[in-house]
């Protein structure tokens, strides 16, 4: 672990640290939070908003997304295509084009990422926060050898020399179980299969020893068998290296099989968030219900979209007033023209709905 | 890309994958097939171009005999010389005769001066070659950094400046530019010669000095074109290609992403454009050589047309067409050498 900013962390009660230092550390503006302590989230996303301006039109891709992620855990973000999963995760890494306006707050290990200067952000990218993308055929540079692409990442985040980086690259390629890593090192991406390329992408992501790995539909482009292998690999690495993983997917089944927590997104917001078992045992959002209903558990196609969900996904440049799911919602009430708040209604179970599934009384919000 | 999606086991029987040894890779290689294909394609091109030239020349009034004897000559004198030069025979006979020589490498003798065409080409080609090379090198060497600077921040100050400059540069015809350059650097400032060519045998600097203005007249529009093309391609790569996002997600700095990642991929497009350009470019030398009184092949072409010396015209046309064909071949070969997807044959 790089420990760049963890050296500045003073665990409360540490006998070597005087009261004064603790006070100074926790009151200073740059004081990092006590990251890594059990119970303290690694990532806190609060009211994240992303708006694109394109040809005079405003596209509200993310509209007040909030969630928390514990260190070392695996969380899934699911939602239909266009619900803002990719945009929100790219926003927190500062990977969006300049046409994007980002507001809200993303705190990573106590550091605010939104508005962070590019120089600092660059240290974090590929260092403490890494990302794997959907299409392994397009996400590797076609004109560079595998080895060069892995060692580039290694050398950016450590001061190893050529030889050291080479050895480390082979080690990483072995860790992601790429067959014949020494030979593959000298090959180009097109000489590898899709699954192998995604393993290389993961090796690149691991180069900076990240504390957070975001896998954006990392298995969507792969066949079912390879998909399972890559997911197993991610789970294994997550446990072995103690890193947190956010797996973004439109595949509810995949999320259910691998993630500890699930965030359901709709129209750029989190609409339901709970530990996986809680969520699937006690669905509260009509939208999540619709997603589940759209996919009969046994006959589910591995890459099936939620095509049975009635109605169209919302137009992000003209969102309806109140709950964005209202035009498609079977539970809709008059009250739904007001935006339902996203709250922890039951222990560890958050949702944003006036009339949730299970207690359709017409006044689901009891307060 | 289709094969890439399949799992590839070592020792697979797919010939595109198992082509590991250097020897086998070359024998059935796409490179060799490419060269042969291109050379076969060149045959109809050369035939078409020379027939067309021959036919167009025959439509222009007057022939070499009349040009040689001048307006005072009597019809009898002209007819006599025509017979002597063989000009009274039908066109297809003369073309056939020329072609028979040409395929054996004998381009014949100038009708007007009776010198062997190959000697004349040997004198003139180096001048044009040097001019074109200089224009090329200068325009590319300038275009690459300007394009990188512009593409680093699309819509930024450098991008806008380079856009204005290149638009201006592209909208000026090269002969107008030539006259402006002569006016400024030769007439007003007097730092460079307005016309004439100094051969390399009289020293490198005098030689280069005599070519600065003509090569600038050819190279500046070229520079604008390359800079603009490369800038556009770089911006496309940066905005649309996922490998760029991967590089940025690794923590690679913006200049490094541009140079190490995007430029590498954009260079293929640039090579294509440069190669396709070469044919047009060498045609453009005709007028520039005329303006700057350079004893190149373009100047020779104009003289040959004026004297209706069809043998000489054919020779120049053949050279131009050959340059275009070879340039295209070189582009494809460069692709094969530079692009690993072709080098290791996957598509
Ligand atoms: N660069 C961009 N400019 C404008 N709109 C964008 C841009 N990137 C994404 N969007 C829009 O933002 C919305 C959310 O996209 P995304 O986060 O990619 O969805 P997904 O949940 O499928 O990952 C989509 O409607 C998409 O069209
Ligand atoms: S708030 Fe209303 S419209 Fe929105 S999901 Fe709940 S019931 Fe449906
Ligand atoms: Mg996406």
Closest residue in A to B263 (Cα–Cα): A143
State whether B346 and A191 contact (CB < 8 Å).
Answer: yes
Nearest to B345 by CA among B18, B45, B79, B103: B18
Chain A residues 284-323 within an 8 A CB cutoff of chain B: none
What is the per-residue pLDDT for A320?
A: 85
Residue B103 exposed, middle or buried by CB count within 10 Å (0-12, 13-18, 19+): exposed
Rounded distance from Cα A338 to ligand 2 centre (Å): 10
Among protein residues, the one whose CA lies closest to atom 8 of ligand 1: A87
CB A10 within 8 A of CB A18: no
Joined tokens for residue A17: 């640290």
Q: How many CB atoms lie within 10 A of CB B252?
A: 21
Interface test with B, best of A99, A117, A142 (most B CBs within 10 A): A142
Joined tokens for residue B147: 């394009």
> Quick one: which atom of ligand 1 is closest to the CA of A265?
21
Nearest to A218 by CA among A89, A347, A324: A89
Annotated domain spans of chain B:
124-306
| ipTM (interface predicted TM) | 0.82
Phi/psi of residue A262, nearest 5 degrees: -130, 130
**Mean per-residue pLDDT, A180-203:** 95
Percentage of residues of chain B with pLDDT beyond 90? 37
CATH fold of B124-306 reads: MetI-like fold (1.10.3720)
CB pairs under 8 A between A and B: 102
Phi/psi of residue B178, nearest 5 degrees: -60, -45
pLDDT-derived band at A298, boundaries 50, 70, 90: very low
What is the per-residue pLDDT for B172?
A: 87
Q: Cβ contacts of residue A245 below 8 Å, gap of 6+?
A: A73, A74, A75, A212, A213, A214, A215, A234, A238
Phi/psi of residue B241, nearest 5 degrees: -95, 135
Provide the residues around ligand 3 (an ion) whose CB is within 5 A: A 86
Percentage of residues of chain B with pLDDT beyond 70? 90
Cα dist from B333 to A145, A206, A244, B233, B330, whole Å:
20, 38, 48, 21, 5
- Does this model's pTM top 0.90? no
What is the per-residue pLDDT for B69?
A: 78
Question: Ligand 1: does its nearest atom lie under 6 Å from the Cβ of A97?
Answer: yes
**Residues B25-54: tens digit of each pLDDT:** 455 666 788 788 888 888 898 899 889 988
B338–chain A nearest CA distance, Å = 8
User: Checking DSSP bridges between strand A343-346 and strand A349-351, what pairing results, if any?
Assistant: antiparallel
Q: Cβ contacts of residue B175 below 8 Å, gap of 6+?
A: B217, B287, B288, B291
Q: How many CB atoms lie within 10 A of CB A276?
A: 18
CA B85 to chain centroid: 34
**Residues A103-160: tens digit of each pLDDT:** 999 999 999 999 999 999 999 999 999 999 999 889 999 999 999 999 999 999 998 8
For residue A92, give the 3-state DSSP assignment: helix
Choice between A336 and A362, residue whose per-residue pLDDT is larger: A336
pLDDT-derived band at A362, boundaries 50, 70, 90: low
State whether A138 and B8 contact (CB < 8 Å).
Answer: no
Q: Specify the DSSP element, H or E, that contains A75.
A: strand A74-78
Say how far apart CA A227 and CA B6 lie, in whole Å: 14
Q: How many CB atoms lie within 10 A of CB A121?
A: 18
pLDDT-derived band at A23, boundaries 50, 70, 90: very low
Of B7, B10, B339, the CB nearest to A180: B10
Joined tokens for residue A293: 């209903």
Rounded distance from Cα A306 to ligand 1 centre (Å): 18
For residue A156, list chain B residues with Cβ-Cβ distance below 8 A. 250-252
What is the per-residue pLDDT for A323?
A: 94
pLDDT at B262 exceeding the cut of 60: yes
What is the per-residue pLDDT for A38?
A: 57
pLDDT-derived band at A309, boundaries 50, 70, 90: low
Question: Interface of chain B against chain A, CB under 8 Å?
Answer: 1, 4-8, 10, 17, 239, 241-243, 245-254, 260-261, 264-265, 338-341, 344, 346
pLDDT at B244 exceeding the cut of 90: yes
pLDDT at A94 exceeding the cut of 90: yes
What is the per-residue pLDDT for A314?
A: 84
State whether B341 and A207 contact (CB < 8 Å).
Answer: no
| Radius of gyration of chain B measured on its C-alpha atoms | 25
**Residues B179-193: tens digit of each pLDDT:** 999 999 989 998 888
Q: How many CB atoms lie within 10 A of CB A246?
A: 26
Closest residue in B to A131 (Cα–Cα): B249
**Mean per-residue pLDDT, B170-177:** 87
Nearest to B313 by CA among B104, B102, B92: B102
């Amino acid at each position: 672990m790089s420990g760049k900013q963890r050296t500045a962390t003073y665990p409360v009660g540490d006998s070597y640290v005087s009261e004064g230092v603790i006070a100074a550390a926790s009151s200073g503006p740059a004081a990092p939070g006590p990251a890594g302590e059990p119970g303290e989230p690694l990532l806190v996303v609060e009211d994240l908003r992303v708006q694109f301006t394109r040809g005079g039109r405003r596209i509200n891709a993310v509209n007040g997304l909030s969630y928390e992620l514990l260190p070392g855990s695996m969380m899934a973000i699911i939602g239909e295509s266009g619900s803002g999963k990719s945009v929100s995760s790219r926003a927190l890494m500062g990977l969006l084009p300049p046409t994007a306006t980002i507001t809200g707050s993303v705190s990573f290990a106590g550091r605010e990422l939104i508005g962070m200067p590019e120089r600092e952000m660059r240290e974090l990218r590929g260092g403490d926060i890494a990302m794997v993308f959907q299409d392994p055929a397009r996400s590797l540079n076609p004109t560079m050898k595998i080895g060069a692409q892995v060692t580039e990442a290694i050398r950016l985040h450590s001061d190893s020399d050529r030889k050291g980086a080479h050895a480390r690259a082979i080690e990483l390629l072995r860790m992601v179980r790429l067959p014949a890593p020494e030979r593959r090192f000298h090959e180009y991406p097109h000489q590898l299969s899709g699954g192998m390329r995604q393993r290389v992408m993961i090796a690149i992501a691991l180069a900076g020893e990240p504390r957070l790995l975001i896998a954006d539909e990392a298995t969507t482009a792969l066949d079912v068998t390879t998909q399972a292998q890559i997911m197993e690999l991610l789970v294994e690495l997550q446990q072995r290296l103690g890193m947190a993983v956010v797996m973004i997917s439109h595949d509810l089944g995949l999320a259910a099989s691998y993630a500890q927590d699930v965030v359901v997104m709709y129209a750029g917001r989190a609409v339901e968030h709970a530990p996986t078992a809680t969520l699937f045992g006690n669905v509260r959002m009509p939208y999540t219900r619709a997603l589940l209903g759209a996919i009969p558990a046994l006959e589910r196609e591995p890459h099936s979209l939620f095509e049975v969900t009635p109605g169209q996904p919302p137009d992000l440049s003209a969102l309806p007033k109140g709950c964005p799911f209202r035009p498609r919602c079977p539970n809709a009430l008059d009250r739904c023209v007001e935006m339902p708040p996203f709250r922890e209604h039951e222990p560890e179970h958050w949702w944003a709905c006036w009339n949730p599934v299970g207690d359709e009384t017409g006044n689901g919000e009891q307060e | 890309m289709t094969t890439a999606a399949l799992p590839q086991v070592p020792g697979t029987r797919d010939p595109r994958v198992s082509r590991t040894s250097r020897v086998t890779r070359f024998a059935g290689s796409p490179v060799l097939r490419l060269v042969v294909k291109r050379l076969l394609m060149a045959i109809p091109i050369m035939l078409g171009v020379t027939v067309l030239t021959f036919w167009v020349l025959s439509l222009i009034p007057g022939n070499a005999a009349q040009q040689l004897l001048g307006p005072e000559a009597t019809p009898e004198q002209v007819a006599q010389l025509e017979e002597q030069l063989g000009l009274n025979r039908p066109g297809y006979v003369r073309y056939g005769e020329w072609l028979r020589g040409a395929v054996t490498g004998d381009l014949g003798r100038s009708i007007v001066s009776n010198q062997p065409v190959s000697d004349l080409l040997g004198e003139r080609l180096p001048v044009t070659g040097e001019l074109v090379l200089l224009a090329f090198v200068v325009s590319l060497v300038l275009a690459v950094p300007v394009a990188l600077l512009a593409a680093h921040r699309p819509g930024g100050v450098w991008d806008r400046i380079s856009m204005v400059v290149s638009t201006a540069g592209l909208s000026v015809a090269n002969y107008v530019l030539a006259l402006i350059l002569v006016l400024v650097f030769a007439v007003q400032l007097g730092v460079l010669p307005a016309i004439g060519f100094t051969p390399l045998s009289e020293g490198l600097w005098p030689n280069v000095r005599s070519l600065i203005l003509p090569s600038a007249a050819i190279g500046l529009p070229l520079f604008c074109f390359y800079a603009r093309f490369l800038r556009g391609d770089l911006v496309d790569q940066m905005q649309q290609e996922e490998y760029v996002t991967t590089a940025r997600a690794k923590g690679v700095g913006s200049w490094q992403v541009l140079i190490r990642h995007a430029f590498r991929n954009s260079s293929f497009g640039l090579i294509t454009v440069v190669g396709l350009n070469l044919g047009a470019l060498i045609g453009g030398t005709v007028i520039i050589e005329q303006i700057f009184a350079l004893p190149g092949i373009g100047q020779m072409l104009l003289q040959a047309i004026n004297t209706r010396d069809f043998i000489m015209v054919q020779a120049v046309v053949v050279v131009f067409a050959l340059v275009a064909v070879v340039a295209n071949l070189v582009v494809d070969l460069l692709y094969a050498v530079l692009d690993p997807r072709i080098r290791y044959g996957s598509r």
